[in-house]
């Protein structure tokens, strides 16, 4: 957020001093982070309420997070021989009147969503193997006739993971269910939207978005509405829809794999217990309930925030973007989808092991096979029921750290 605000003010049309820019730079350099409430912005006149906490921290007021603890901003500044900033005319307004909060959150959301799309692709490949599915649903000739480039990239990644350039075997099923067969058509929508989303985020990121704008050369003060976050609001409302669809896709794949009626010979709930112990163990039954809950919550949050404009400030701000709410919603949907993804990694690890024990299973390409070996090392096979919450948290941390290399394209 500090970086985004600095980037905007450094465009040179906001009427601020070099000292203000250097104070923002100092907060970044010394990791002095203003404590800012998540709620309270309508996205026009920009992120006024949250950015007021940035202005306060620059001036040595309110609290910050510094060196692992909450402390008064004045103390954190003093620890680095920094003096509180004395605001000059226009500077308070320039700090507060812009889209830095929603844009910063949107940039974080973009990166995490991109990674989730790639991870959902790899998990789909695993689930095709676990369900003894047809790898030729992702044939290059097939996808050439519907040429959405992102969708084609997803299909190519699946072909590579599944080593599916060999001729199909006659004994393969003709058609898998949609959550497997149509995975490129679901993940591909996100993949095709990412370049457009990135262009809009970068445009906003590199813009002057406060008010008024100062043209020093012509000595003009120009009053407008560049603080309005409509582009970010629409981007985030779109992104949360795309990511929630990933959660829904993976939820449906898990539903197929745990159900003995549809998983083509695997045990119910992917339990690895056998003999007299089989009836006493529940495998991934409880995990699927959690996945269903997380998916439902993610889908519920796809209601667009940008359509809920409210008239505020005695009707001066009578049309607002709600961009910051949209960005926060997107991050929450991403968080829930990451939880679903962690659960699907458990499912894939269990499903492939059981498939290979049953009939050998298909061999994956080198990269997905190496990732599967890493998963198996992290996750012992669930034979006797055990608590999975610690392992799920560890997988969640690995997802957010992008612990696995996913596709070079």
In this structure, which topology does domain 2-98 adopt according to CATH? Fumarase C; Chain B, domain 1 (1.10.275)
CB atoms within 10 A of CB 140: 12
Q: What pLDDT score does 310 carry?
A: 85
Does position 369 have pLDDT exceeding 70, yes or no?
yes
Class assignment of domain 102-400? mainly alpha
Question: Where does the pLDDT of residue 308 fall: very low under 50, low under 70, confident under 90, or very high at 90 and above?
Answer: confident
**Cα separations (Å) of 195 from 202, 264, 357?**
10, 38, 42
Work out the mean pLDDT of the chain and round it to a whole number: 95
Q: What pLDDT score does 168 carry?
A: 56
Determine how β-strand 63-66 pairs with β-strand 69-72: antiparallel
Q: What pLDDT score does 44 carry?
A: 83
Task: Tell me how far apart the alpha carbons of residues 214 and 338 are, in angstroms, rounded to a whole number.
Answer: 43
**Environment class of 175 (CB within 10 Å of its CB; exposed 0-12, middle 13-18, buried 19+):** exposed
Mark residue 134 as left, alpha or beta (left: phi above 0; alpha: psi -120 to 50; beta: remaining): beta
Residue ranges of the chain that CATH labels 1.10.275.10: 2-98
Q: What pLDDT score does 165 carry?
A: 67
Q: What pLDDT score does 320 carry?
A: 85
Q: What pLDDT score does 169 carry?
A: 58
Question: Where does the pLDDT of residue 167 fall: very low under 50, low under 70, confident under 90, or very high at 90 and above?
Answer: low
Residue ranges of the chain that CATH labels 1.20.200.10: 102-400
The answer to whether 122 and 406 have CB atoms below 8 angstroms apart is yes
Task: Tell me how far apart the alpha carbons of residues 397 and 390 are, in angstroms, rounded to a whole number.
Answer: 11
Q: What global pTM score does this model have? A: 0.95
pLDDT tens-digit series, residues 168-206: 555 567 899 999 999 999 999 999 999 999 999 999 999
Q: What pLDDT score does 166 carry?
A: 60
The answer to whether 2 and 28 have CB atoms below 8 angstroms apart is yes
pLDDT tens-digit series, residues 244-269: 999 999 999 999 999 999 999 999 99
Q: What pLDDT score does 278 carry?
A: 87
Q: What pLDDT score does 171 carry?
A: 56
Question: Where does the pLDDT of residue 52 fall: very low under 50, low under 70, confident under 90, or very high at 90 and above?
Answer: very high
For residue 323, give the nearest of 201, 232, 204, 225 by alpha carbon: 232
Does position 91 have pLDDT exceeding 70, yes or no?
yes
Residue showing tokens 């929508």: 189
Question: Where does the pLDDT of residue 314 fall: very low under 50, low under 70, confident under 90, or very high at 90 and above?
Answer: confident
Task: Tell me how far apart the alpha carbons of residues 165 and 168 are, in angstroms, rounded to a whole number.
Answer: 9
Task: Tell me how far apart the alpha carbons of residues 148 and 181 are, in angstroms, rounded to a whole number.
Answer: 16
């Amino acid at each position: 957020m500090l970086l985004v605000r600095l980037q905007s003010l450094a465009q040179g049309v906001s009427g601020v001093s070099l000292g203000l820019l250097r104070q923002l730079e100092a907060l970044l350099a010394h990791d002095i982070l203003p404590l800012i409430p998540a709620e309270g912005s309508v996205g026009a006149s920009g992120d006024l309420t949250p950015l007021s906490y940035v202005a306060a921290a620059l001036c040595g007021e309110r609290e910050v997070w510094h060196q692992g603890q909450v402390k008064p901003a004045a103390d954190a500044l003093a620890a680095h021989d920094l003096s509180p900033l004395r605001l000059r005319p226009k500077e308070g307004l320039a700090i507060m009147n812009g889209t830095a909060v929603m844009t910063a959150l949107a940039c974080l959301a973009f990166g995490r969503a991109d990674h989730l799309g790639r991870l959902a692709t790899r998990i789909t490949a695993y689930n095709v193997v676990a369900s003894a599915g047809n790898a030729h649903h992702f044939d290059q000739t097939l996808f050439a006739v519907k040429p959405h480039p992102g969708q084609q990239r997803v299909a190519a990644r699946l072909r590579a993971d599944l080593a599916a350039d060999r001729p199909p075997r006659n004994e393969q099923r003709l058609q898998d269910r949609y959550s497997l067969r149509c995975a490129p058509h679901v993940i591909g929508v996100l993949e095709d939207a990412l370049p457009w989303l990135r262009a809009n985020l970068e445009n906003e990121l590199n813009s002057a978005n406060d008010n008024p704008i100062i043209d020093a050369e012509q000595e003009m003060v120009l009053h407008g509405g560049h603080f309005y976050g409509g582009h970010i609001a629409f981007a985030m409302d779109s992104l949360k829809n795309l990511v929630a669809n990933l959660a829904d896709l993976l939820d449906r794949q898990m539903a197929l794999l745990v159900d003995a009626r549809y998983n083509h010979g695997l045990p119910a709930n992917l339990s690895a217990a056998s003999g007299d112990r089989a009836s006493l163990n529940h495998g991934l039954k409880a995990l699927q309930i959690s996945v269903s809950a997380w998916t439902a919550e993610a889908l519920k949050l796809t209601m667009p925030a940008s359509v809920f404009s409210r008239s505020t400030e005695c009707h001066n701000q009578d049309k607002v973007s709600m961009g910051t709410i949209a960005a926060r919603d997107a991050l929450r949907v991403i968080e829930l989808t990451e939880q679903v993804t962690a659960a699907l990694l458990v499912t894939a690890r269990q499903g492939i092991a059981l498939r290979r024990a049953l009939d050998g299973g298909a061999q994956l390409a080198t990269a997905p096979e190496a990732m599967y070996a890493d998963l198996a090392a992290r996750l012992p096979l669930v034979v006797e029921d055990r608590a999975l919450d610690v392992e799920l948290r560890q997988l969640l941390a690995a997802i957010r750290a992008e612990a696995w290399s996913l596709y070079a394209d």
